[in-house]
Amino acid sequence: MSTGFPFQRQGYVSIVNQDGIVAEPYSLSQLFNLTVLGEHLVANIQLLQDSEFSMQDILALFSTGAPGCHIQITDTSSGKTLFNNPIPGQALLSNVAGWPFQLPVPYVFRANGSIKIDIYNDVNGVNNVEIVFHGIRLYKG
């Protein structure tokens, strides 16, 4: 879906371009409750049928205070992985405390696809990790 910039504001949270494409802030999240060292969990976040998701940044929140995990993210529509290997959880933290990791360029997931998250526990014990994707939902208005 072409964004066809420039967009014009429609209300406070969405903008519309000359082709009628609406862009709205949108976030997705997944909580993982890891309990055993080496544990591997998989989750799929189903995307909306009517809109693409342009991911702008990723935030990983850790209950242990230390990012003791490795993460892989896959676009199931294309089969592409975002990383060549699972990356350490701390790689999803920005250099500014409390701010998400901003992607160098947005990554667009197709409508009706899903985001697959593989997570591997590196902590000997309970490790609750929440992965949050921030971006823009794009759809025909």
Give SS3 for 31: strand
Mean pLDDT of 15-38: 88
pLDDT value, residue 98 = 63
pLDDT value, residue 31 = 94
pLDDT value, residue 4 = 43
pLDDT value, residue 11 = 46
Residue type for 36, please?
V
Give SS3 for 128: strand
91: left (phi over 0), alpha (psi -120 to 50) or beta: alpha
The structural domains of the chain, ordered by start, are 25-135 (2.60.120.230)
% residues pLDDT > 70 (the chain): 84
pLDDT value, residue 1 = 46
Sign of CA dihedral 21, 49, 75, 118: positive
Checking if the pLDDT of 22 tops 50, the result is yes
List, for residues 2-14, the tens digit of each pLDDT value.
444 444 444 446 7
Checking if the pLDDT of 42 tops 80, the result is yes
pLDDT value, residue 119 = 95
Q: What is the pTM assigned to this prediction?
A: 0.83
Q: What is the mean pLDDT of the chain?
A: 84
- In our burial notation (b when 16+ CB lie closer than 10 A, e otherwise), range 83-95 reads eeebeebeebbee
List, for residues 59-114, the tens digit of each pLDDT value.
888 876 667 889 999 999 999 999 999 998 888 765 556 678 888 999 999 999 99
